[in-house]
Amino acid sequence: MSKGRGRGRGRGGRDEDRRRGRDEDRSESSGSGSGGGRSDIEFEDSNVAGNSSFDTFSCNVIDENFDTPDRVRPDRRFSRAGANTLKLEMSDGEDIEFWNFKDDDDSDSKDEFPSRPIRVRVGEVVHSEIKGEKNSHTIHHHGINPTTFNDGVGHTSFEVNGRYTYQFQPRYPGTHFYHCHKNTVLHFEMGMYGLLIVDPASGPGSLLDGDLEYDVEAFWIPDDVDPRWRDLNHSAGLCNEDAGLNVFRPKYFLITGVENTRTRRHRKVRVDARVGETVLVRFLNASYSVVRTTIEGLDAEVVGTDGRILGDPDRPWAQPYTIPAGEPFETVSAQRRDLFFRPTEPGEYRVRMEFHDWITGEIHDNGRGVAETVIRVRA
């Protein structure tokens, strides 16, 4: 299926048929691509159609600098450079190293962890460019279903040692995330990720076109940090050596980049709303723990899971459900929950996240792996 040249091949499939007219208007001519990339693409040069072996799948994944095949003009574009190194001072005085994707259009983003969100709408053609800095990386837009060549999973496509523009067109609204997929276990832990939000075609303010409207939007992204992993090499563990990546002993616990000593009040974590408003919290478990979350005093209506909205007329079998106030719910790495709260009384509603070891079930760091915040509701 993927034999032959990537550029200028006949288009096929239902998706392409549907937007053929549009694409022909948009086509960018051969060679005007992402700038400096290889345009003489043979899919056999990548892992899309290459011969899979331990060597190319794990140890020496193909790293390249291609042009985007079948590139068309985008509705929205992003440019992310990584890995960018930053340090965050923890409450015990330690400077902990993180890697992020910095937004090339805003230098402030170089100090931000998690990386800045990517926000797009259903139906838009999106260009998400990676500029590899220091070694090779990728961007995997998790939950979007692009072509294999654009999926950013190096093992089945390629890693990027210079620049590549990922092209995709999201079909469903929902909460996703993007992350580096090179030596993923390590690079994700180091911080190479951010939210990827797909709004309906009508834009932010509702989860579906004309349905599931919200007034307040917030993000909760629990994460945990093992300082020992900061000493590992970029490619640690890829070539059969035992780098100890199965041993994870986190010492710091964060929500949306804020350490748990400050999450109770911090404006990036605490949620402010008024009685009568609908609050949407987009929750991503970016830790390597089983995170057990309890919200006191407020029912949570789960209106989305793992990048799909519940109650979408296209999937009538998947309906929203309620987590009663005070009842914990658990998520594991990479899981997402879109939560609606509809407070009817003013107050401060306590939110507690416990980070449990996935093997022993114990709360990490001898019970210290806990982060709290509040939903503050005014009359």
Provide the β-strand partners of residue 375: 271, 349
* Residue 122 structure tokens: 């259903």
Comparing CB distances to Cu ion, the nearer of 176 and 187 is 187
Residue ranges binding Cu ion (CB under 5 A): 137, 180, 182, 187, 192
Nearest distance from C-beta of residue 154 to Cu ion, angstroms = 9
Nearest distance from C-beta of residue 186 to Cu ion, angstroms = 8
Residues whose CB is less than 8 angstroms from the CB of residue 68 and which lie 6 or more positions away in sequence, other chains included = 33, 34, 37, 127, 150, 164, 165, 166, 167
Q: Which of 108, 112, 85, 107 lies closest to 96, judged by CA?
A: 85
Residues whose CB is less than 8 angstroms from the CB of residue 364 and which lie 6 or more positions away in sequence, other chains included = 224, 249, 250, 253, 289, 355, 356, 357
Comparing CB distances to Cu ion, the nearer of 180 and 351 is 180
**Residue closest to Cu ion, measured at CB:** 180
Nearest distance from C-beta of residue 162 to Cu ion, angstroms = 14
Rounded to the nearest 5°, which phi and psi values hold at 108?
A: -60, -25
Nearest distance from C-beta of residue 185 to Cu ion, angstroms = 11
Comparing CB distances to Cu ion, the nearer of 239 and 275 is 239
Provide the β-strand partners of residue 331: 291
Comparing CB distances to Cu ion, the nearer of 243 and 370 is 243
The answer, yes or no, to whether the previous bond of 83 is cis (omega within 30 of 0) is: yes
Nearest distance from C-beta of residue 219 to Cu ion, angstroms = 22
Nearest distance from C-beta of residue 199 to Cu ion, angstroms = 27
Comparing CB distances to Cu ion, the nearer of 84 and 293 is 84
The two beta strands, 211-213 and 216-220, are unpaired
Comparing CB distances to Cu ion, the nearer of 128 and 331 is 128
